[in-house]
């Protein structure tokens, strides 16, 4: 219940975070069913406990889905909901089978979900150019949770019944640890998620003060201020900063054919599409007119080319819905890399040169320059 209350306290208009918050609320609502165990002795209501375990499985699955959404790795709602229902039905269906079968389903379900959660969170940390303490803490919690269920599952495979009334068939030394862990898990996860979301929202509020009024992307002033800070930070790390210059193809034609109001809608739409396909640590700015800039920390140059292609395809395949109907647009993208000895303006100039080459080569394409430092 504490986790559910914390999620209600977060206020934001960011679609990705709003979706994640809604899933977190459902997750903590499902996990709150564990409190029934404290109210009713397990020896008097074994079926109630099995029902509680089923909801707990759904809650953990929803947590994994919410983490993906919060980290920008979107899962379609029908996929997340479908997997959650399958997990719940599997646990509830197995509750009518033998004790051995039920224990096996519990072990497989919780081990699979917790392992996938740990892998997903670990992949986020590996790909991130700057590690945040909350992300590392969430990774630690998910790894410990996965390790716990690996030990339990091994115990289920190697040690036959009798099975305990609380259905946690674990080694004797692990049982008290498990009890404390299950009591603290929702509290720990809720606190870390709340801290992570607040940190991201604080960063976004700061960015808004330096943003473009029309699109919400950073202004040129915001790009200079936050961009210089990013470049200074990257000098002390092993990652690189890719510089992407993005230009809407034939934007003047859109303005002339449909009017400037529709042109503004297209600019806002492209900003939304690009932002939705970037990680949280990237900077997106409106450089001027229909031209945008992205500063993207990357582990390897090829990653920047992949991101640029993903952005190009996303804009091409997602028309802007306007009052006169869908308006399609494409973008050309030039990619270069920051050199320690160069300034931000010099980096932008190099990327602009690659953008010019992309437009000369026919538009709706990516021109990529390998690092030349």
Q: Which of 100, 113, 112, 118 is closest to 155 using CA atoms?
A: 100
Is the distance from CB of 220 to CB of 33 less than 8 angstroms?
no
Q: Where are the alpha helices (DSSP H) in 243-300?
A: 251-258, 260-276
pLDDT tens for 81-111 read 898 889 888 888 888 888 888 888 989 998 9
Report pLDDT for 131: 66
Give the C-alpha distances (Å, rounded to integers) separating 282 from 32, 346, 351: 36, 19, 16
Confidence of residue 2 (pLDDT cuts 50, 70, 90): low
Q: Is the pLDDT of residue 189 over 80?
A: no
Report pLDDT for 14: 65
Q: Is residue 102 classed exposed, middle or buried when 0-12, 13-18 and 19+ CB atoms within 10 A define those classes?
A: buried
What's the CATH code, domain 213-368?
3.30.70.270
Q: Which of 56, 177, 155 is closest to 104 using CA atoms?
A: 155
Distance CA 276, CA 302 (A): 20
Per the DSSP assignment, residues forming a β-bridge with 295 are 243, 283
Distance CA 296, CA 110 (A): 36
φ, ψ for residue 242 (rounded to 5)?
-90, 145
Q: Any idea what the Cα angle at residue 371 is, between residues 370 and 373, rounded to 5°? A: 150
Question: Per mean pLDDT, which range of 112-116, 176-180, 318-322 is the poorest?
Answer: 176-180
Q: Which own/partner contact pairs does 288-294 have at CB distance under 8 Å and 24+ positions apart?
A: 288/220, 289/251, 290/247, 290/248, 290/251, 291/245, 291/246, 291/247, 291/248, 292/217, 292/245, 292/246, 292/247, 293/223, 293/243, 293/244, 293/245, 293/246, 293/348, 293/351, 294/242, 294/243, 294/244, 294/246
Q: Is the pLDDT of residue 372 over 80?
A: no
Is the distance from CB of 25 to CB of 4 less than 8 angstroms?
yes
Give the C-alpha distances (Å, rounded to integers) separating 164 from 67, 156, 169, 179, 364: 32, 12, 6, 14, 63
How many angstroms separate the first and last alpha carbons of the chain?
54
Confidence of residue 27 (pLDDT cuts 50, 70, 90): confident
Higher-scoring residue by pLDDT: 19, 258: 258
Instruction: Please give the mean pLDDT across all residues of the chain.
Output: 83
C-alpha 333: how far from chain center: 25
Report pLDDT for 12: 61
Q: Which of 215, 249, 231, 193 is closest to 339 using CA atoms?
A: 231
DSSP 8-class letter at 319: P
**43, two tokens:** 């020896």
Report pLDDT for 294: 95
Q: Is the pLDDT of residue 37 over 70?
A: no
Whole-prediction pTM: 0.55
Q: Which of 210, 340, 329, 352 is closest to 264 using CA atoms?
A: 329
Instruction: Locate the domains of the chain by residue range.
Output: 2-205, 213-368
Q: Is the pLDDT of residue 1 over 60?
A: no
241 by DSSP, 3-state: which?
strand
pLDDT tens for 206-246 read 666 778 888 888 888 888 888 888 887 776 666 788 999 99
Report pLDDT for 154: 92
Is the distance from CB of 305 to CB of 240 less than 8 angstroms?
no
């Amino acid at each position: 219940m504490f986790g559910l209350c914390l999620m209600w306290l977060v206020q934001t208009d960011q679609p990705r975070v709003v979706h994640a918050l809604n899933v977190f609320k459902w997750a903590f609502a499902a996990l709150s069913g564990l409190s029934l165990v404290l109210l009713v002795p397990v020896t008097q209501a074994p079926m109630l406990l099995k029902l509680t375990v089923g909801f707990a499985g759904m809650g953990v699955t929803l947590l994994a889905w919410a983490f993906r959404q919060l980290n920008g790795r979107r899962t379609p709602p029908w996929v997340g909901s479908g997997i959650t229902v399958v997990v719940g039905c599997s646990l509830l269906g197995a509750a009518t089978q033998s004790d051995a079968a039920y224990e096996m389903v519990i072990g497989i379900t919780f081990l699979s979900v917790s392992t996938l959660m740990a892998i997903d969170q670990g992949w986020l940390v590996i790909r991130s150019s700057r590690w945040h303490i909350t992300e590392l803490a969430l990774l630690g919690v998910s790894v410990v949770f996965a390790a716990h269920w690996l030990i339990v599952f091994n115990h289920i495979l190697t040690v036959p019944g009798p099975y305990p009334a609380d259905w946690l068939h674990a080694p004797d030394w692990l049982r008290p640890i498990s009890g404390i862990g299950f009591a603290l898990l929702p509290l720990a996860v809720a606190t870390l998620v709340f801290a992570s979301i607040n940190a991201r929202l604080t960063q976004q509020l700061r960015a808004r003060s330096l943003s473009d009024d029309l699109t919400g992307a950073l202004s040129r002033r915001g790009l200079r201020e936050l961009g210089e800070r990013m470049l200074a930070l990257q000098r002390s790390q092993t990652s690189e900063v890719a510089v992407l210059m993005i230009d809407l193809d034939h934007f003047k034609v859109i303005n002339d054919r449909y009017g400037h109001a529709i042109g503004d809608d297209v600019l806002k739409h492209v900003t939304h599409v690009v932002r939705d396909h970037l990680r949280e640590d990237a900077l997106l700015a409106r450089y001027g007119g229909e031209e945008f800039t992205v500063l993207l920390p990357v582990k390897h140059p090829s990653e920047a080319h992949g991101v640029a292609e993903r952005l190009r395809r996303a804009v091409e395949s997602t028309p802007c819905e306007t009052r006169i109907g869908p308006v399609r647009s494409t973008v050309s993208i030039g990619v270069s890399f920051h050199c320690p000895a160069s300034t931000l303006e010099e980096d932008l100039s190099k990327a602009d040169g690659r953008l010019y080459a992309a437009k000369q080569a026919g538009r709706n394409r990516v021109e990529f320059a390998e690092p030349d430092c």
